[in-house]
């Protein structure tokens, strides 16, 4: 459901989700990957509504790829909860990175999640990043509303294998591949979380910052490592085993 913007305001889009059983963990709380799926889906709906959806872009030989995601989670929604999810294009960083913000509320109107995502337009043949079209940039007026997500601390590349406390390996499956012919960005969230020990299953994720660096394709072996940065913070890294390319860096913060 799109909203008609007032003069000088950006168009927003609102949709709803009900947390299903297969989207929850052993406590009945929605998983981080499921939350990210909700956000990815509504972003696609709104982009299509604005004329910049994946089909329209691919017809021009370009496609959207997520390069970053920053989430502040105030509480974990539970099984069967109904959520109101709102999104809007919120600006750009130069002419290469488009930002899109999110807010999630429960039925009582309480904020559950605030998020900021970062997107690149990539040439489907050369895989090179292309400049954002002026028509897209013009959708966002100066001083547009932003979700309340404090700027993330810098994610720096750890030395290979340095300090890794927890390690898991995965093979990229056919069902992990999306229409961009690589593992969908939500798969990386699953790989990040699964590398953590079982003790984290009893804790609530309060913040997640992800930097997507490169893509995994079917058959790749990926290695997800994690190490405690503090009592509440964990640093994550996902690499492709074949050439040690860093695919993802992330930080998770736990209540």
- Given 98, 116, 137, the domain boundary residue is 137
- Residues 16-47 have pLDDT tens digits of 999 999 999 999 999 999 999 999 999 999 99
Which of the four pLDDT bands, split at 50, 70 and 90, describes residue 202? very high
Let me know whether 107 and 208 are in one domain. no
Let me know whether 85 and 176 are in one domain. no
What is the three-class DSSP state of 8?
coil
pLDDT of residue 142: 81
Does 143 map to a domain? no
What is the three-class DSSP state of 226?
strand
Does 130 map to a domain? yes
Distance CA 49, CA 63 (A): 16
Token pair 């488009």 is at which residue?
98
Using the CB atoms, write b or e for 131-147: b if 16+ within 10 Å: ebeeebeebbeeebeeb
Domain around 39: 13-137
Q: Per-residue pLDDT averaged across 112-126, rounded?
A: 97
- Given 121, 137, 153, the domain boundary residue is 137
Does 247 map to a domain? yes
- Residues 205-237 have pLDDT tens digits of 999 999 999 999 999 999 999 999 999 999 999
Q: What predicted TM-score, i.e. pTM, was given to this entire model?
A: 0.92
Does 151 map to a domain? no
Let me know whether 18 and 116 are in one domain. yes
Domains identified in the chain, total number: 2
Q: What is the CATH number of the domain that holds 205?
A: 3.10.129.10
Let me know whether 170 and 242 are in one domain. yes
């Amino acid at each position: 459901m799109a909203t008609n913007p007032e003069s000088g305001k950006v168009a927003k889009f609102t949709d709803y989700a009900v947390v299903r059983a297969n989207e929850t963990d052993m406590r009945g709380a929605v998983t981080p990957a499921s939350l990210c799926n909700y956000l990815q889906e509504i972003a696609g709906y709104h982009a299509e509504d604005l004329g910049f959806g994946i089909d329209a872009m691919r017809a021009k030989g370009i496609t959207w790829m997520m390069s970053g995601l920053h989430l502040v989670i105030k509480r974990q929604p539970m099984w069967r909860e109904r959520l109101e999810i709102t999104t809007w294009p919120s600006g750009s960083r130069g002419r290469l990175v488009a930002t899109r913000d999110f807010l999630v509320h429960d039925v009582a109107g309480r904020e559950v999640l605030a998020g900021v995502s970062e997107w690149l337009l990539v040439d489907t043949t050369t895989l090179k990043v292309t400049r954002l079209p002026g028509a897209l940039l013009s959708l966002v007026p100066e001083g547009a509303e932003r979700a309340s997500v404090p700027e993330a601390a810098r994610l720096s590349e750890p030395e290979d294998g340095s300090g890794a406390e927890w390690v898991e390996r995965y093979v990229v499956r056919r069902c992990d591949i999306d229409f961009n012919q690589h593992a969908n960005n939500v798969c990386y969230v699953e790989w990040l979380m699964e590398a953590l020990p079982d003790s984290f299953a009893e804790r609530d994720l309060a913040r997640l910052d992800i930097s997507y660096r490169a893509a995994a394709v079917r058959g790749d072996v990926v290695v997800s490592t994690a190490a405690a940065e503090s009592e509440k913070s964990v640093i994550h890294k996902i690499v492709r085993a074949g050439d040690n390319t860093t695919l993802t860096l992330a930080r998770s913060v736990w209540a």
